[in-house]
Structure 1
Amino acid sequence: MKKLLLPICALSPFLVKAQAGVDLNPVSVTTSRVAQKVNETGRNISVIDGAMFRQLPVQSLDELLKYVPGVEVQARGPMGAQSDIVLRGGTYQQVLILLDGVKINDPITGHFNSYIPVAPSEILRIEVLRGPAAAVYGAEAVGGVIHVITKTFAAQDTASGLHGVVKASGGEYNFWNTDAGVQYAKGRVKAALGVLSNNTTGQLLRGDNRGYIHNNTVSGSVSADMANNWKMALRGSYDNRDFAAQNFYTTFASDTATEKVSTAWAQAQLKQHKNRHSHEIDAVFKNASDNYLYNSVSTANENKSKYAMAQYLYTLSLSHGFDIAGGAQSSLRVIRSNDRGNHQTGQIAGFGTLLYHYEHLNLSGSLRADYDGNYGFALIPQLNASYNAGIITFRGTAGRATRSADFTERYNNYNKTLVKSGSIGNPDLTAEQSWSYEAGATLNVAQYLKLSGTAFYRSQDNVIDWVTTPYADMPRQTNLDPSGTYALAKNLKQVKTKGMEFEATFQKQLSKNQSIYVNAGITLMRSTSNDPVPSFYIIAHAKTLIQSTVMYQFGRLSLSGNMIYKERNPQMAKGINAEITSSYAVFNARVGLRILSQLSVYASCNNIGNIRYSDLLGSTMPTRWFMGGASYNF
């Protein structure tokens, strides 16, 4: 009975200041790089207002995403320590993360993909696209896309002058937080500067170790409108994470790891929109450093990577309902490591999309010709369709995707003299190949209520995952101990995933000073593999995932809350007394009070039920945690 009640509780009005006038059918640019209303894209897309970050009981961007329906965030620690982002049952490597239209996925490992190098105060909105988008964006867009769009880079009018917000918080376990940002606009120039800092000594982990965190992000951006409808935008940011990483990657009792990851990010965009066509040139450079210390007597893994990318985009609106978009993209990935060795690889691609609109019918087809130094040449097609029949929109998608192994999957522990146990890379990995199909419908019952449902299926070949492998079966034994326990990066011959997604959004102004926003979703998934030995991450996704966010405002008082319920395959690691339970439910709540026109105070409680749980085996998540703070808008 308890399991049956939890999903029902998830859909009840759980409880922040509602966004009056939220558009339930906003414009999206993620599907095809051409601005379209969400119900015209043929895709299942959610759009999250950036302002929600400060209205909910969350402290980092990965925690905000955790409660978006269909987005599974497999967290190893709180407040941005580290999280794997999963969409539609894929691995954490099969989700593409974009910042203002450019890829930020880390070349070292997908474990770092949630380190988004921008402060929350800069974010205008986040678009979540479920399902493949490789034909438009390339590798990693297998399960979906998370696209962060910022205020400075977006074509949006901004109030003149200087304005911003400063928020300071504190709580148990010596927690303190700073979240601040300022925006300035005058004439043709816009600028923004933001900072997010989360720090805590942390709750107790296994033994006497604590889950400490010192995570800091500073980002700044500027844009200027120039002659002949040209606009230039620039961004620079620095992100540093220092945290306890005990049992983040292993289930060994000797693992008392700590980790430091720092990222410097530079981004430039030059865009022109004139009459019926537009040009866009993007260039990015990312410099990342990772220091991982397994325990106090081991030698730290030192990994340094560089990622550079340039792309050109062109769009043209033709007559008779046709639009075209296309361009070219090139990137270079480099690693220098005492653990993985020194390597580099490049990629180049050309891509195009044709969109057709006729009355209530919308069609789009995309094709990408991609060359990657790891897997050679690939053609990646995709088709999307939608039909608007009054209050209901029908949609469907079919698309191919491919993904090559990253540097960790290829070379982890390859450069060490002796490896007694752990994960071993495999340079002979072939690229993953997949075909995805989906069909769904969205019902706009009224301006304040939207319901949607989607069925999806993905067939994958040569999926890359880690598999427990005895020493005798290891393809390379040069630096291995015959008595060791190893996990080898392997290609799984075939993995099939099928599932359904249901989502409801209700937003309404109840009276002059009272409003409510409710978003809830259920995702049901199953994956099967023909490999006789279970792999690590393919079996780790939730089979049932229920998420909800509710925000309520009455005068000066605001109440908010979110919850998540997961059902998954149980696992056990007796050596460290760790387990993945068959299910868990976590509830969080926040109450805020505006005491002056510009000053507000709040109190929150995360994990109200004091549940002990883990998303990934060995990584214990925090139990109940009280926090409070104040924010000042100017």
Structure 2
Amino acid sequence: MAAIAQEKSSELDPVTITATINPVASSKTGRNLFVLKGEDIAKLPVHSLDEVLRYIPGFEVQARGPMGAQSDLVLRGGTFQQVLVVIDGLRINDPNTGHFNSYIPVVPAEIERIEVLKGASSAIYGSDAVGGVVHIITKTFAYTGVPSKSFSGGVTGGAYGLLNANASGYYSNEKLAVSAGAQTNNADGQAQRGIDGYFHLHTVSAAASYKLNNQWKIAYRSSFDSRKFAAQNFYTSFASDTAAEKVTTWWQQLALSYHKNNNHFTWQTGYKHVNDHYGYNPSSIANNSKSKLLQSLAVYEHSFNNDLSLVTGAQFQQKGISSNDRGNHTVYQAAGFASLNAALNKHFTVSPGVRLDWDEASGYELVPQLNASYKQGSFQVRGSAGKTIRNADFTERYNNYNKTLVTSGRIGNPDLSAERSFSYEAGADYFGKNFRVSTTLFQRRHSDLIDWSTTAYADMPRKENLSATGTYALARNISKLITSGWETDVQWIYTMNNQRSFTANAGFIWLNSETNAGFASFYTNSHAKFMVNGSLRYSTPLFAISVNGLYKTREAQAAANIKGQITTEYFVASVKADVFVIKNKLSVYAEADNVFNRSYADLLGAQMPGRWLMGGIRFTY
């Protein structure tokens, strides 16, 4: 029983590397964090990483299509470009558009854990870490020399031509760790307005880590991700939009680390190449864009003692695009940062940090942050304040800029300023024997926030390739936006006689955004006004039941020409039932996604599927 209690304690207050880079208990970061273990992903009624994130407490995922076709990630009411996604310490946000940020090129079975850090994080991570950070930590890169081996896989079939499959393996000894995996999700799809919502989504990834000696370790990852899907009204509300899109991603990552006594140094480099082929309809000329992200990150950590550690780092990025729609562009970025983690006594911890960021397009930015926490017994209070920044992506700067004639659509703006904001938060936590409750009040004050707004031809700053009769949306800076909110997260873990277990996670978030822009924009108010989401699972040696649920309210929208509608509220749930044929090795399951057959959309025109029935088999060794 002592071992079980210790395991619960570590799950409710896990060690994290996302908030301060150096490993510390989440209660010592001054931040609201949620950590999901990789082994729990396969137990949920989900089929892709964006669906996993959708049910993390307080995390809003605005889905355009199912099972990984495309989703926008939203934390604390930010826009979809304001969440930074990181794999083993390196950022993967695409320089072309934030719509691709949910394309995470890692097979779920390779994941050790997912850490979601809510709130301002630009002092360490730079641009995009406004609403928060999603950090994917893989088994191979987290390898510490403990021997282990596993192999798992599964097949799912269902309605609308659904066929999903996955397989992965992991092996490690005292010096070497290797992993490899593949996942494919396919369906003819349910009927939409103009076409069926088909998708063919494939990910293959492999990694290896090797301890050169007691101090040095090297790790390498290579991944390929291909997604072909119906994209009708993903980006427009025109009736002529029957789009199809294919996005392919290559991801390479190399890490070299040194650890001796109180010194820890890591150098990483990564290269991401994305090819996007988008056809608005069969008669239009397709957009072809190739984007690249080359980066290098060096981090040095020194622990003076158990109560004081210093992290310093330097980062370099080269972002580029070659496109028949957006043109050819390259932007360089560099930064240096430092963060101190100090336990002033056994109760009080502070973590000040600062970053000096330089972007070729936006210039220099000094980004400070201060986190603090005080814990007494099972109770904790915490607070954080910091500046955040975000630089415009290539779509916001150059969309439709390179075409001969644009009769309607979104028009980029090369003169955009970088977004700046300042965030404040204060929270409290209770760590019980079987549960944890965290509640946070926060506010984010933006200046120069970037969004799209319907703009008359006469007011367009550039008219060279535009039609005077066209309908356009221009990327613009909004002078001020204030987002205020309250969130509460609940985690419950209960084990009965080490045979039956019950786990539950739930999040409640209320949000309000106010602007003085004087014009309507697309994404600043697309977030939920109130949302409840979460999951629960009951497991015995013979069977298990898992349920995901999501309820949210938001502003209503309608587009009569495409019969599109955003309702003021919706509730959607999925259920999965497992029967264990061979304990801990073989199971069969049945699943119902959108079990109540709700008609809903997160974004206007991008209709989500109704009830979807499926079943499958899963094995683990």
Question: What displacement does 1:228 show?
Answer: 4.3
Q: Does 1:321 align with 2:307?
A: yes
Instruction: Identify the residue that residue 426 of structure 1 maps to in structure 2.
Output: 413
Q: Does 1:274 align with 2:260?
A: yes
| Contact 1:135 1:400 survives alignment (8 Å) | yes
Instruction: Identify the residue that residue 470 of structure 2 maps to in structure 1.
Output: 484
Alignment partner of 1:554 out of 525, 532, 540: 540
- Structure 1 letter corresponding to 2:233: N
| Contact 1:468 1:535 survives alignment (8 Å) | yes
TM-score under structure 2 normalisation?
A: 0.97
| Distance (Å, rounded) in 1 between the aligned partners of 2:223 and 2:540 | 37
Q: Map Cα deviations across residues 509-557 of structure 1 (whole Å, 9 max, x no partner).
A: 0223211001111000000111121110011000001002001012210
Q: Does 1:619 align with 2:606?
A: yes
| Contact 1:20 1:509 survives alignment (8 Å) | no
Question: What displacement does 1:273 show?
Answer: 1.2
Q: Does 1:32 align with 2:20?
A: yes
| Contact 1:257 1:292 survives alignment (8 Å) | yes
Q: Map Cα deviations across residues 453-487 of structure 1 (whole Å, 9 max, x no partner).
A: 00000000000000011111111111111111111
Q: Does 1:65 align with 2:28?
A: no
- Structure 1 letter corresponding to 2:547: G
Runs of 4 or more consecutive aligned structure 1 residues displaced over 6 Å after TM superposition: 19-22
Q: Map Cα deviations across residues 598-627 of structure 1 (whole Å, 9 max, x no partner).
A: 211000001111000000000000000001
Alignment partner of 1:332 out of 318, 343, 359: 318
Give the direction of change, closer, same or farther, for the CA distance of 1:21–1:133 in structure 2 (3 Å limit). Answer: closer
Instruction: Identify the residue that residue 311 of structure 1 maps to in structure 2.
Output: 297
Instruction: Identify the residue that residue 166 of structure 1 maps to in structure 2.
Output: 153
Instruction: Identify the residue that residue 97 of structure 1 maps to in structure 2.
Output: 85
Q: Map Cα deviations across residues 186-219 of structure 1 (whole Å, 9 max, x no partner).
A: 3311000011100000000003x10000000000
- Structure 2 letter corresponding to 1:354: L
- Structure 2 letter corresponding to 1:61: L
SS in 2 for 1:227: coil
Instruction: Identify the residue that residue 440 of structure 1 maps to in structure 2.
Output: 427
| Distance (Å, rounded) in 1 between the aligned partners of 2:496 and 2:546 | 16
Q: Map Cα deviations across residues 289-332 of structure 1 (whole Å, 9 max, x no partner).
A: 00000000000000001110001100001148221000110010
Question: What displacement does 1:20 show?
Answer: 7.4
Q: Does 1:494 align with 2:483?
A: no
| Contact 1:192 1:220 survives alignment (8 Å) | yes
SS in 1 for 2:470: coil
Instruction: Identify the residue that residue 361 of structure 1 maps to in structure 2.
Output: 348
Instruction: Identify the residue that residue 535 of structure 1 maps to in structure 2.
Output: 521
| Distance (Å, rounded) in 2 between the aligned partners of 1:22 and 1:203 | 43
| Distance (Å, rounded) in 1 between the aligned partners of 2:362 and 2:319 | 14
Q: Does 1:603 align with 2:590?
A: yes
SS in 2 for 1:93: coil
Instruction: Identify the residue that residue 570 of structure 1 maps to in structure 2.
Output: 556
| Distance (Å, rounded) in 2 between the aligned partners of 1:378 and 1:466 | 24
Q: How many residues are matched?
A: 613
Question: What displacement does 1:157 show?
Answer: 4.8
Q: Does 1:630 align with 2:617?
A: yes
Instruction: Identify the residue that residue 4 of structure 1 maps to in structure 2.
Output: none
Q: Map Cα deviations across residues 566-609 of structure 1 (whole Å, 9 max, x no partner).
A: 10000011110101000000011000011123211000001111
| Distance (Å, rounded) in 2 between the aligned partners of 1:432 and 1:154 | 34
Instruction: Identify the residue that residue 380 of structure 1 maps to in structure 2.
Output: 367
- Structure 1 letter corresponding to 2:515: S
- Structure 2 letter corresponding to 1:517: T
TM-score under structure 1 normalisation?
A: 0.96
| Distance (Å, rounded) in 1 between the aligned partners of 2:283 and 2:450 | 32
| Distance (Å, rounded) in 1 between the aligned partners of 2:147 and 2:341 | 34
| Distance (Å, rounded) in 2 between the aligned partners of 1:510 and 1:163 | 27
| Distance (Å, rounded) in 2 between the aligned partners of 1:280 and 1:445 | 36
- Structure 2 letter corresponding to 1:74: Q
| Contact 2:417 2:477 survives alignment (8 Å) | yes
- Structure 1 letter corresponding to 2:567: T
Instruction: Identify the residue that residue 117 of structure 2 maps to in structure 1.
Output: 129
| Contact 2:147 2:174 survives alignment (8 Å) | no
Instruction: Identify the residue that residue 12 of structure 1 maps to in structure 2.
Output: none
| Contact 1:22 1:507 survives alignment (8 Å) | no
| Contact 2:143 2:177 survives alignment (8 Å) | no
Alignment partner of 1:521 out of 498, 501, 507: 507
| Distance (Å, rounded) in 2 between the aligned partners of 1:170 and 1:103 | 34
Alignment partner of 2:94 out of 87, 106, 120: 106
| Distance (Å, rounded) in 2 between the aligned partners of 1:504 and 1:119 | 28
| Contact 1:420 1:483 survives alignment (8 Å) | yes
| Distance (Å, rounded) in 2 between the aligned partners of 1:167 and 1:581 | 36
TM-align CA RMSD: 1.1
Instruction: Identify the residue that residue 37 of structure 2 maps to in structure 1.
Output: 49
Instruction: Identify the residue that residue 450 of structure 1 maps to in structure 2.
Output: 436
| Contact 2:145 2:173 survives alignment (8 Å) | no
Higher RCO (C-alpha under 8 Å, 6+ residues apart): 1
| Distance (Å, rounded) in 2 between the aligned partners of 1:141 and 1:186 | 36
SS in 2 for 1:593: strand
Instruction: Identify the residue that residue 399 of structure 1 maps to in structure 2.
Output: 386
Instruction: Identify the residue that residue 7 of structure 1 maps to in structure 2.
Output: none
- Structure 2 letter corresponding to 1:119: V
Question: What displacement does 1:110 show?
Answer: 0.3
Q: Percent identity?
A: 47
Question: What displacement does 1:159 show?
Answer: 3.5
5+ residue gaps in structure 1? 1-18
- Structure 2 letter corresponding to 1:579: Q
Instruction: Identify the residue that residue 186 of structure 1 maps to in structure 2.
Output: 173
| Distance (Å, rounded) in 2 between the aligned partners of 1:449 and 1:43 | 18
Question: What displacement does 1:21 show?
Answer: 7.7
| Contact 1:251 1:576 survives alignment (8 Å) | yes
